[in-house]
A and B are shown apart, each in its own frame.
Chain A
């Protein structure tokens, strides 16, 4: 079992819809989680961080963390074609502080 797991997709949504990206993790001691967006051929860019249970909203993005279920999600409201990218979930390991990345979910937003 991978330490951070994501469905590789692709996840296809129509423009204007809500895109829901999900991630599970195995390290119960992990406290911090991050969502990165990576456009094709580019480097990952941090878009959201979340440290406590519940929701955190930033513009069209909402990150959700449920530590009991070891589950992290990213909601993108009013999806735009420019949101089409690979989204990487990462959790900070409890013993080393390194980030463990999932394999990424490819999102396609169709006009």
Chain B
């Protein structure tokens, strides 16, 4: 059973709102990742972190930001949501032997 949790599971929000997607893991993993995935499409890495106070942008340009103040917590923030941000956001963590994914947050911006 995966010990990585994402909240909320579903979110419908209006354009211009600020949102934070939560991701927490209890496995003590140093490495954490955020992916964006549209239905039926491939995974796109948008942010990653190799430890506390370490964050990097991924391969897909994103208007979101992340922080890593605690090992177990890796939240993603959108300052001003737009319909183009509608997607599924997946958080993952790793200690070097593959990734464990959370259940994801399905975001709809109206």
Contacts and interface: CB of A to CB of B under 8 A. Distances in A.
Interface residues of B, number: 19
A49 B96 contact: no
Nearest to B97: A49
Interface residues of A, number: 19
A79 B98 CA distance: 25
A101 B42 contact: yes
Interface string B12-25: 00000000000000
Interface in A66-111: 88, 90, 97-99, 101-104
Interface string B64-91: 0000000000000000000000000010
A99 to B, nearest CB: 6
Contacts, number: 40
Interface in B16-63: 31, 33, 39, 41-43, 45, 48
Interface string A35-70: 000001111111001000000000000000000000
A25 interface: no
A102 B44 CA distance: 10
B61 to A, nearest CB: 17
Nearest to A43: B101
Q: 3 shortest A-B CB distances, which residue pairs?
A: A43-B101, A103-B42, A34-B98
Interface of B: 31, 33, 39, 41-43, 45, 48, 90, 94, 96-104
Interface of A: 32, 34, 40-46, 49, 88, 90, 97-99, 101-104
9 contacts: A32-B98, A45-B101, A46-B99, A46-B100, A49-B98, A88-B43, A98-B45, A99-B94, A103-B42
